[in-house]
Amino acid sequence: MEKPFHIFELTQELVENILSREYDPHFHDFEELIIATSGGLEHFIDYKLEFVQAPIACYISMGKMHKIIPSNDLRGWVINFKSEFIPDSKLSFYSNFFTSTNIPLSSNSCLNRFTTLCEIIFSENNQEQVDYTSIHHLVNALIAMIDAERKRNLPVENSAKGSQVNSFNNFLKILELNYHHNEGVSFYADKMNMSERNLNIICQNNFHKSVTEIIETRKLIEAKRMLLYSDKTVSEIGYQLGYNEKSYFTRVFHAKMEITPSRFREMTRAIIS
């Protein structure tokens, strides 16, 4: 991707073109945001298959292997951008802790706003002299709207949503500093001055995962990065992530990925090459 930004509409013609071609899972050197307004898709990401149904926003961060198979009626928008074009976005932050970031878009009025904003961004990008500053602000607004929609969908009372979102983000920040240590739920609950039960409730409400699942996913994402982009041995990577034994690290990795760390490295490097 040469330009810092690109947007295209998922039309019937484009979907038929995608379905007519055969292509393998691949890696991006850019971030990707899919706004599906109707239809659905099969999404193969980091060796896991998930089924996504519109209306929904799907974020795929740079460096994750993926492939999509759209349904015939999939419609919407796809936005690609270099990570430095929209640095430090909420979706980028969340992608460190979750294999995929899928956020349902609930109401018709919400969907209309997203569609209108995508149309404006598309129009701006097709100007003879593209103003990337304007596009930067518009895409930032789109990402902010997606995160706002996520917050609205939390299964808690409005009065408690702000507090839960702040607590959840604080937990992720603490986790980012400590995930490479062998620390469990009690460590993070103590850091946040709350019970393990309350921390688990907050994590389930915000992203439908337990504290343990989020910790393990953060370790797993870092393990995959290191397997792909470093020459450290499997033992060294496991030890750096708080696993004292190679066999235990391999067992945890295989349980989540259904593939050993060594095999993951072999297969993904073959795809890149």
pLDDT digits (tens, 9 = 90+) for 178-204: 999 999 999 999 999 999 999 999 999
Does residue 81 surpass a pLDDT of 90? yes
Q: Which one is predicted more confidently, 24 or 110?
A: 24
Question: What's the rounded Cα separation, in Å, for the pair 104 and 55?
Answer: 6
Query: What CATH architecture does domain 159-273 belong to?
Result: Orthogonal Bundle (1.10)
Question: With 80 as the cut, is the pLDDT of residue 158 above it?
Answer: no
How far is residue 77's CA from residue 100's CA, in Å, rounded to a whole number? 18
Whether residue 157 has pLDDT greater than 80: no
Yes or no: say if 175 and 97 are a contact pair by the CB < 8 Å rule.
yes
pLDDT value of position 212: 95
CA distance 195 to 92: 28
What is the tens place of the pLDDT at every residue in 111-154?
889 999 999 999 999 999 999 999 999 999 999 999 988 888 88
Q: Where in the chain is the domain with CATH 1.10.10.60?
A: 159-273
pLDDT at 110 over 90: no
Please say if the pLDDT value at position 107 is more than 70.
no
Q: What is the pLDDT of residue 152?
A: 85
Please state which CATH class domain 5-152 belongs to: mainly beta
Q: Hunting for tokens 């409005």 — which residue is that?
A: 158
**How many residues are there in the chain?**
273
Cβ neighbours of residue 151 under 8 Å, at least 6 residues apart? 161, 165
Residues of the chain with CATH 2.60.120.280: 5-152
